[in-house]
A and B are shown apart, each in its own frame.
Chain A
Amino acid sequence: MTDLVLIIIFLNGLLIFFTSIKFGRYLFFSSGIMHLIMTIALILNSQNIYFNSYLKCTYEGLVILSIISFLFLCIIFYSISYLKEIQLSNERIFTGSMVLFLSAMTLVSLSDNIILIWVAIEATTLSSAPLIFIHKSKKSLEATWKYILICSVGIALALLGSFFVVLSMDIKGINCPLTYTDFSNIANLLDKKLLKAAFIFILVGYGTKMGLAPMHTWLPDAHSEAPGPASALLSGALLNCAFLAIYKTNKILILAGLGNFSNKLLIIFGIISIFIAATFALKQSDYKRLLAYSSIENMGIIAFGTGVGGLAAYGAILHLIHHSLIKSSLFLTSQNYLFAYGSKLIDKVGNGIKLMPKSSILFIAGFFGISGFPPFGIFLSEFLIIMGTLKQGLYSVAIIFIMLLIIVFAGFAKYFIRIIFNNYDGNIKIPENFQRLLPQYILLAVSIILTFFTFDFINSYISNIQIYSEVLHG
């Protein structure tokens, strides 16, 4: 019955649009807390689901669900101070859309039905579009238009792909519920040709949402125009949801004996994404866009790791967790800079270490984290992915991968150093405060803790996913 909480959260979101702003805020906060409780309850008892023909708690789903839940709580905490400073004229749209967005993402992480997951992912697009649109400036209009159009069109292709998966069952005269679980059971009976076509469409479709190049073009615009908390949620949670759908379909293909085909595609798309991100990260004028390209890079790494399989797939899941934590902390910190300097341009920002010492420390720490330095988890995950790649004998791919990572690091280092140490005369507008720093500290701290300490339940989850991968990849 735990999943019924989802309906309450969804209704909360709708209710916010019709109540006073103050009550809306309470609803906003309470949804986050309710969501956390729901997640914990689901982790403790994953069988307790009412709509069990549509929803199911899978290990990978629960990992993503707990990321969403935790991130949302941190973002709520940040939003308290954020909403005070920014004085939105249409605050209901912000809080309401955030809650609707949360419920849509939760539905993605729980849904087992192949069509329902499409409905949920499209719902995430629709509920997050108002967040990007919130300032109603020319640029945000442009970003919203691109976001809605590109993502809707892309996801429509994924629907076609899902139909093809169903068709590959129909054509063989099998009739079973359209769930990932059932498909996994009968995977080797499905029609191979159609399944391949289906995977291409699904990869392109959900890949658009996940930010895989060359379908990534909406991502830098949307992430840079959305308000800080929203971009943190977009980057940290939404991209994972799209990845989940690809991951589940990939599993069906591997079970159907088409693993070579799907994994090769994932590797190719992963490498292209990292390459595109590396190219564009070298020349950027906007620090939020820079972070957005970093998201594209990391999504590429995750797709790559999943495609390589084995140890690398384990690394990919680890990477997903740590990327969410670190990237959302970076996006929240970048909002502090935006408050202080009033500009997203790197040239108009500088001397962070003197003017905003705490945010700058967070920024540097986040930068080291995202670039793969110890003690942050991304070091571990990238290490595992490279090890996995070498183990599979893909030496040339591994070399390209490492080189691209170095280029990305170079690009980021150039701009981060400029932001923090460049000369800047003039004062900052809105100083940093404790409420807008604590969530980032917590996020980074969690990343470190997860690297050094092993928690049984998390490890068992990841290794459960890994068992899948290892069995599948042999």
Chain B
Amino acid sequence: MSNLILTLTVLMVLFCLGSSRLLSIIYLIAFQGFLVSVLPFFINDKITISVILFILVTLLIKSFLIPIFLYFVMKRITIKREIEPIIGYNGSVFLGLIIIIISIFIGNKFNFHINHHNTFLFPAGITTLTSGIFLIIARKKAITQVIGYLMMENGIYLLGLILSNHNLNIIEFGILLDLLVGVMLMGIVLHNINKTFDDIDTTLLKSLRDL
């Protein structure tokens, strides 16, 4: 089951890379957030109350609060599509595939077997993380960059699941809170960018530079 969830997570990455409609990317990232946050149910050995609570809060933030917030930001923005990505969609999807292959190689090299034997967790995490960074680099619209950031955080979350069960929960709430506040701040800035520039294209942000 955990393998299926991870496969779907990586599939969402590929869809995000190949999709040009901004709204559908938000749906995809919401679904990915859902997949990522229910994963601990299937790989943790023992499910305690605190684990359940943590999963619920993650679920709430990753797959409801943040996507709904982004959805409302999108509602106010006139641009619905990524017009000219820096790297095209087909190219991005192929690059995504290459990233998967490379991360599987890296995963085989490190060979983590700690508290469970899901060998796909590490490559999936690396893939999601790297593709998130790739989205930030290869797309011009600010909202896609926010989604790239979210994807990156999802990847790091997956990698964090490799750790054995340290009693981290209070601090992980801190991480989640930071993520939530960060995305909200980005949304507010994005809204203001849209108001000031009539667009959310980050190539318009070029007045501050040297040389």
Contact = CB atoms under 8 A, between A and B. Distances in A.
Q: Do chains A and B touch in the complex (CB under 8 A)?
A: yes
Interface of A: 54, 113, 115-116, 118-119, 122-123, 125-126, 129-130, 133, 136, 138-139, 141-146, 148-149, 152-153, 156, 159-160, 163, 166-167, 170-171, 175, 178, 193-194, 220-221, 224-225, 280, 283-284, 289
A115 B178 CA distance: 12
Interface string B187-208: 0011011001100001001111
B186 interface: yes
B142 interface: yes
A458 to B, nearest CB: 32
A163 B160 contact: yes
B92 to A, nearest CB: 18
Interface string B159-179: 110111010100110110110
Given A138-B196, A139-B207, A163-B156, 18 more contacts: A113-B171, A119-B175, A125-B182, A143-B208, A144-B189, A145-B142, A146-B205, A148-B185, A148-B189, A149-B186, A153-B149, A156-B149, A163-B160, A163-B162, A170-B164, A280-B211, A283-B210, A284-B210
B163 A163 contact: yes
A146 B208 CA distance: 10
B182 A160 contact: no
Given A153-B133, A170-B114, A224-B208, A141 B196 contact: yes
A297 B169 CA distance: 39
Contacts of B177: 119
* Interface size bracket, B side: 35 or more
A163 B152 CA distance: 14
Nearest to A126: B181
A-B interface, 9 closest residue pairs, ranked by CB to CB distance from nearest:
A119-B174, A142-B205, A122-B178, A221-B208, A115-B171, A170-B164, A126-B181, A170-B114, A280-B210
Interface string B101-142: 000000000101010000000000000010001001000001
Contacts of B164: 170, 175
Contacts of B196: 136, 138, 141
A430 to B, nearest CB: 25
Given A153-B152, A283-B210, A119 B193 contact: no
Interface centre among B142, B149, B171, B208 (most CB of A within 10 A): B208
Contact of A225 (B152, B168, B185, B208): B208
A145 B129 contact: no
Nearest to A107: B174
B159 A163 contact: yes
B127 to A, nearest CB: 14
B58 interface: no
Interface of B: 110, 112, 114, 129, 133, 136, 142, 145, 149, 152-153, 156, 159-160, 162-164, 166, 168, 171-172, 174-175, 177-178, 181-182, 185-186, 189-190, 192-193, 196-197, 202, 205-208, 210-211
Nearest to A117: B171
Contacts of A136: 192, 196
Given A146-B205, A148-B186, A160 B156 contact: yes
Given A145-B189, A167-B163, A171-B114, A123 B178 contact: yes
22 contacts: A54-B171, A115-B174, A119-B171, A122-B175, A123-B178, A136-B196, A142-B208, A144-B189, A149-B136, A149-B145, A149-B186, A153-B136, A153-B149, A156-B152, A159-B175, A160-B156, A160-B159, A166-B163, A170-B114, A171-B112, A171-B114, A175-B164
B73 to A, nearest CB: 14
Nearest to B186: A148
A171 B133 CA distance: 27
A34 B168 CA distance: 30
Contact of A116 (B129, B171, B182, B207): B171
Contacts of B202: 145
A159 B114 CA distance: 20
A178 B159 CA distance: 17
A146 B202 CA distance: 10
A152 B112 contact: no
A115 B210 contact: no
B143 to A, nearest CB: 12
A115 B208 contact: no
B122 to A, nearest CB: 10
A224 B181 CA distance: 24
A295 to B, nearest CB: 15
Contact of B168 (A115, A141, A146, A224): A115
A10 to B, nearest CB: 13
B168 A178 contact: yes
